[in-house]
Chain A
Amino acid sequence: MMRLQAWLEERMPIARFVEAVRHKTVPQHRFSLWYFFGGMTLFFFFVQVVTGALLLLYYRPSASEAYESVAFVMTRVPFGWLVRSIHAWSANLMIAAAFAHLFSVVFLHAYRRPREVTWLSGVLVFFITFAFGFSGYLLPWNELAFFATRVGTDMAGAVPGIGEAVVHFMRGGKDVSGATLTRFFGVHVAILPALITALLAAHLLLIQHHGMSVPPSIEAAQRKHGRPLPAMPFIPHFALRDLFGWTVALALLAGLSAYFPWELGKKADIFAAAPAGIRPEWYFLWMFQALKYMPATVFGMSGELLVLVPVSVGALALTLLPFLDPDTPRSRRIVKTLAGLALALMTTMTVLALLEGSS
């Protein structure tokens, strides 16, 4: 055993890595709970990688076979219903965890210097997660997915000048068809995984490098009292708490998948009408509701553009947040207020859409 360790040590810098991990600590204060959501998002991502790889063994990416292959997984493959349901539920919970992580980082100002690049990598991972959700949603080739993709890709057509070309590019043709399915499949299982792996590696390395961020309010209080902030060793104390959270998440996934298995719905029919009561996944509901409220044109601008422009500006502002916030007590208050308003608006729109859907 010792000889093996020595042999490996000569070839790989294991001791240095172990040393670094052993010295990692997590600060303890009243907002420490929010440190868990990044790890929780990561857990759901791992679940997606494993279940996604399993689904890939049976899935067939063509308009004539996709729906049937998912139906085969759900009905014939042992535990196929479980694997697919976990993949679908975990996708939703990953987005929820990513939302919580992102908003906690905003409200606790963890994006500020020197963590700008950590923030950028995180925001890109967040957007890629949405791209995963959007592209994966089409893959079962059912009615809901078909119209969601038509609407989602058509939105891009509202962009002046290049809109048409972008829609054509996303759909792999003029309309949503088998070509779109093949394209989304390639994006979902090859291009996005490559991107997210690289960005996630950078994100995690940078977090390791900078250590956990302490909120400015806690920092100030600590300066005033002159006491050092209590900290918890990452190994084993924080890691065990993480592990506990992950076990709860796994139980939740299993429970949701067993009691609410993900439906397959009706196979997409290009020539059938959009069914009444159609609506997208919960994380797109606020945008969907906004689209419904918009009239066809406002001051010569199309309703879609009127939704698309503020959403794009918001996404851009979110991406550049550390560079827009000069990090003064006043600017931090402004960031908190704006983030709170955005969250309230999104929540209200989502609730309105849900109420309308249930009535």
Chain B
Amino acid sequence: MSSDHSSGAGRKPPTPRRRDVLDWLLGTWGAGVVGAVFYPVLRFLAPPEIPESPTLTVSAGKASALLPNSGRLVPFGAEPAIVVRLAGGELRAFSGVCTHLSCTVQYRQDLHHIWCACHNGHYDLNGRNISGPPPRPLQPYDVNVQGDEIVISRKA
């Protein structure tokens, strides 16, 4: 490419040859075509974000039907929530999604706490991860009873 024809001082920068210009044009054109094809494809593959409301309040069924030392899974937006009635009668609610690998947890009457079947994760009745692989506590929700209806909600 840049073979020096002129020996001595004042070396001139190599003049671009016609082939270099054509190569550059071809390369730019190629990159443009590839980009124009792959950019929309890549964007198409990533699903659009569907925004979620930061506050959410749902009904979690009848309070009288939830016996002491038992739990119930209810839909909470797109995810499950777990409502637990402690042996003493108190109601508590948490996200039902295990913080390990997002399986759905359940209440174990024999253990008196929350358990995930997938990888044997245990949570106490405050939602704290107490044994097994879960890295974080379950997200707690507010519980209210209106008449005989349990209402759980997430604050903004």
State in angstroms the CA–CA spacing of A273 and B71 once bound together.
Answer: 11
CB neighbours of A296 from chain B (8 A): 100, 129, 133-136
B119 contacts A291, C-beta separation under 8 Å: yes
Q: Determine if B9 is an interface residue (Cβ-Cβ < 8 Å).
A: no
How far, in Å, is B94 (CB) from chain A's closest CB?
13
Q: Determine if A232 is an interface residue (Cβ-Cβ < 8 Å).
A: no
Interface residues in A286-340 by Cβ distance below 8 A to B read 288, 291-292, 294-297, 302-304
A151 contacts B101, C-beta separation under 8 Å: yes
Closest 7 CB pairs of A and B: A273-B106, A296-B135, A274-B103, A154-B101, A274-B117, A151-B101, A271-B80
State in angstroms the CA–CA spacing of A17 and B52 once bound together.
Answer: 61
The range of chain A's interface size is 20 to 34
State in angstroms the CA–CA spacing of A168 and B50 once bound together.
Answer: 11
CB neighbours of B45 from chain A (8 A): 169
Q: Determine if A272 is an interface residue (Cβ-Cβ < 8 Å).
A: yes
**Inter-chain contact count A-B, CB under 8 Å?**
87
How far, in Å, is B152 (CB) from chain A's closest CB?
13
State in angstroms the CA–CA spacing of A113 and B131 once bound together.
Answer: 50
- Please tell me which one of the listed residues A165, A277, A291, A294 contacts residue B117 in the complex, with CB atoms under 8 A apart: A277
A291 contacts B75, C-beta separation under 8 Å: no
Q: Determine if A278 is an interface residue (Cβ-Cβ < 8 Å).
A: yes
Give the interface of B toward A (CB within 8 A). 45-47, 50, 52, 73-75, 78-80, 96, 98, 100-106, 116-120, 129, 132-136
State in angstroms the CA–CA spacing of A291 and B132 once bound together.
Answer: 10
A169 contacts B47, C-beta separation under 8 Å: yes
Known: A273-B96, A274-B116. A177 touches B73 (CB 8 A): no
Q: Determine if A150 is an interface residue (Cβ-Cβ < 8 Å).
A: yes
State in angstroms the CA–CA spacing of A292 and B122 once bound together.
Answer: 12
CB neighbours of A154 from chain B (8 A): 101-102
State in angstroms the CA–CA spacing of A272 and B117 once bound together.
Answer: 12
Q: Determine if A6 is an interface residue (Cβ-Cβ < 8 Å).
A: no
- Please tell me which one of the listed residues B73, B116, B133 contacts residue A295 in the complex, with CB atoms under 8 A apart: B133
As a 0/1 sequence over residues 162 to 196 of chain A, the CB contacts with chain B under 8 angstroms (1 = contact) are 00010011001111010100000000000000000
Between B52, B134, B135, B136, the greatest number of chain A beta carbons within 10 A of the residue's beta carbon is seen for B135
> Which residue of chain B has its CB nearest to the CB of A176?
B102
State in angstroms the CA–CA spacing of A154 and B119 once bound together.
Answer: 13
Known: A168-B46, A276-B117, A277-B117. A177 touches B78 (CB 8 A): yes
B120 contacts A272, C-beta separation under 8 Å: no
How far, in Å, is B100 (CB) from chain A's closest CB?
8
B120 contacts A292, C-beta separation under 8 Å: yes
Interface residues in A146-160 by Cβ distance below 8 A to B read 147, 150-151, 154-155
As a 0/1 sequence over residues 120 to 154 of chain A, the CB contacts with chain B under 8 angstroms (1 = contact) are 00000000000000000000000000010011001
CB neighbours of B119 from chain A (8 A): 151, 288, 291-292
State in angstroms the CA–CA spacing of A175 and B117 once bound together.
Answer: 19
A294 contacts B133, C-beta separation under 8 Å: yes
A150 contacts B102, C-beta separation under 8 Å: yes
State in angstroms the CA–CA spacing of A272 and B136 once bound together.
Answer: 21
State in angstroms the CA–CA spacing of A88 and B78 once bound together.
Answer: 31
CB neighbours of A272 from chain B (8 A): 73, 80, 104
A150 contacts B103, C-beta separation under 8 Å: yes
Q: Determine if A270 is an interface residue (Cβ-Cβ < 8 Å).
A: yes
How far, in Å, is B155 (CB) from chain A's closest CB?
20
CB neighbours of A236 from chain B (8 A): none
CB neighbours of A155 from chain B (8 A): 101
State in angstroms the CA–CA spacing of A274 and B50 once bound together.
Answer: 26
A273 contacts B73, C-beta separation under 8 Å: yes
Q: Determine if A161 is an interface residue (Cβ-Cβ < 8 Å).
A: no
